[in-house]
Chains A and B, each alone.
Chain A
Amino acid sequence: MRTDIIEIRWHGRGGQGAITAAKIVANGAFASGFKGVVMAPTFGTERRGAPVFVSLKISKNKIYDLSPITAPDMVVVLDHTLLDEVDVIAGLKENGLVILNAPKPLSEYSFGGAKIAVSDVTKHAVEAGLPPGIVNSGIIGAFSQATGLVNIDVMVTAIENEFTGKRPEMNSKAAKIVFENTAVGGYI
């Protein structure tokens, strides 16, 4: 299969903004030269609070296969309580990466040898001035730090464009604080 496509699966809860987060990363990636960007939410069954996932594929070339991701290169988890409900690493490729919003330190987590990045996004978002529970802007800072795929400055612009009229500076500040406070482990 094509090896030029990076597949990123986002896990969140309905209403938590996983789609918006993936859309912001899609915009940041596109602005960074990834001309192929495809983002597909869970189709048809979103409910507030229920686990949802979003597929984001990025490539330097146009992407033709829009089917959901089954073997992600990386997964992003917006809510650590999902770990008890969802097998977030299902299908994760060897040398995969897990980016996690969680209150505990990196050493507390293990995902079958995958590289792990952890930040307490929930806490840092409040530090940025956002109401408790808004994590979909902050998590992008962790994504930028852990993957290096899209520069944090590009992400900040993408965040402020998306949140026009909805606390753009606080949202981008959350991402910047998280970017500086993301612990990235190695392969185990």
Chain B
Amino acid sequence: MHIIESGNVAAATGVKLSRAQVIAAYPITPQTPLTEKLSEFVESEEFDAQYIPVESEHSAMAVCIAASTAGARAFTATSANGLLYMSEQLHWAVGARLPLVMCVANRGIGAPWTVWNDQQDTMSQRDAGWIQIYANDHQQIIDSVIKAFLLAQTVSIPVMVCYDGYILSHTYMPFEQPDQDQVDSFLPPFAPKNFLDPENPGNFNPVTLPDVRPGVDGEIEPGYIEIRHNLHEDLRTTLDTYAAIDKEFEEQFGRGGNPLIEQYKCVDADFVAVCIGSLSYQLRDVIDLMRDDGVKIGVMSVQMYRPFPDEVIVAALADKKCAIVLEKALSYGNQGALYGDIKSALYNSDTKPHVHNYILGLGGREIKTQHLLDALTESCKSPETIGDTPRWIGLKL
């Protein structure tokens, strides 16, 4: 059934359909309506879950960690400084290999305070080890949440489902709401082999030593570096696992097919704009305008940012004249993080495009179609001469 609702409600509906058992969250703009909706669902008894109000985001993640360790499907959501406040627990959740799912309504980080959209919050957590999936519209939000629960419990790694604050979180658009029966047959209950069980006492995440050592049963147990190596290896295979889950989802629901990247008019393109999130959809109209003028350009969004789908991205970009990376975040003092990742992925390619970097939309600065058109036109006119320094769009100095 199609409904017209906000992106936050799309996320909440996905969580309800996924039968999360424990929700712990602290409200923060622009995530607040998502947690309000979930508490309404629980209060009205249409959603059988424990909603645990907490006094901070750090506690929200701590509750989710505890619930997941006890074998429950757990969910939280946040934005911006709330995400940073739980950062220590984010790293713990990954190291403990807990299949949590968290939505982040992307918002700029204070100081100075801003409640509006950019993507600095989740980009700043890219090295925590969480899987990061980004949605471009409401359909992708609800579908990604459902797929994220299956992915998380398949690979035992937590997943962030990220979507642009306000632009998606507070905007209303139609989306298909899957039937509960369909979701139930796609997503089996969470049934971990090892969980916190008073009947079967065990150690969880004890102190490791720099080297391996025998466990209680005399078997050699991995040390810290082995555990972290295995996390990395498992994240690398997550790319294929997610592609398989997406294929399964597509067979059942008829939607999907772009788990790692999504491309628009890229096949015959000389130039490709690359970005993350709803901006890629706004760019489609700009691409159409430029195509009308004979410029062979397309746009590609990175749907899964961590683990980084480098091979797929190289295959999509290696034969192009120029890749134009537009980012709502910045690795301060260097360049855009996505820009750096893409250049790094292309380094060993036999052919490689010029790569340009634009920074835009920080703190919700309106992204005007004309500005996008001007920037892309400039890049297409002088692919060789634009250097490595990020260029800023819409700056009023």
Contact = CB atoms under 8 A, between A and B. Distances in A.
A35 B174 contact: yes
18 contacts: A2-B288, A23-B4, A26-B4, A30-B2, A37-B172, A40-B167, A41-B170, A43-B364, A44-B166, A64-B282, A65-B282, A65-B369, A66-B171, A66-B281, A66-B282, A67-B367, A67-B369, A68-B366
The CB with the most chain B CB atoms within 10 A, among A2, A30, A67, is that of A67
Contacts, number: 62
| A-B interface, 7 closest residue pairs, ranked by CB to CB distance from nearest | A64-B281, A39-B172, A43-B166, A40-B171, A64-B284, A65-B282, A44-B115
A65 B4 contact: no
B285 A1 contact: yes
Contacts of B288: 2
A65 B285 contact: yes
B303 to A, nearest CB: 16
B107 to A, nearest CB: 10
B269 interface: no
Contacts of A35: 174
Interface string A44-67: 100000000000000000011111
Interface of A is mostly: loop
Say which size band chain B's interface belongs to: 20 to 34
A2 B282 CA distance: 12
A91 to B, nearest CB: 13
B381 interface: no
Interface in A1-25: 1-2, 23
A98 interface: no
Nearest to A19: B172
A58 B289 CA distance: 20
A65 B287 CA distance: 12
Contacts of A101: none
Nearest to A5: B285
Contacts of B368: 67
Given A26-B172, A43-B116, A66-B281, 9 more contacts: A23-B4, A38-B171, A40-B171, A44-B115, A44-B166, A65-B285, A66-B282, A67-B367, A67-B369
A27 interface: yes
B170 A38 contact: no
A66 B278 contact: yes
A43 B170 contact: yes
A30 B172 contact: no
Contact of A44 (B2, B29, B282, B366): B29
Given A30-B4, A43-B166, A64 B172 contact: no
Contacts of A63: 173
A11 B227 CA distance: 57
B167 A66 contact: yes
A171 B364 CA distance: 36
Contacts of B167: 40, 66
Nearest to A44: B115
Interface in B149-176: 166-168, 170-174
The CB with the most chain A CB atoms within 10 A, among B278, B285, B369, is that of B285
Given A26-B4, A67-B366, A67-B369, A37 B282 contact: no
Contacts of B171: 38-40, 66
A36 to B, nearest CB: 8
A46 B166 CA distance: 13
A38 B172 contact: yes
Contact of B4 (A27, A43, A66): A27
A64 B262 CA distance: 14
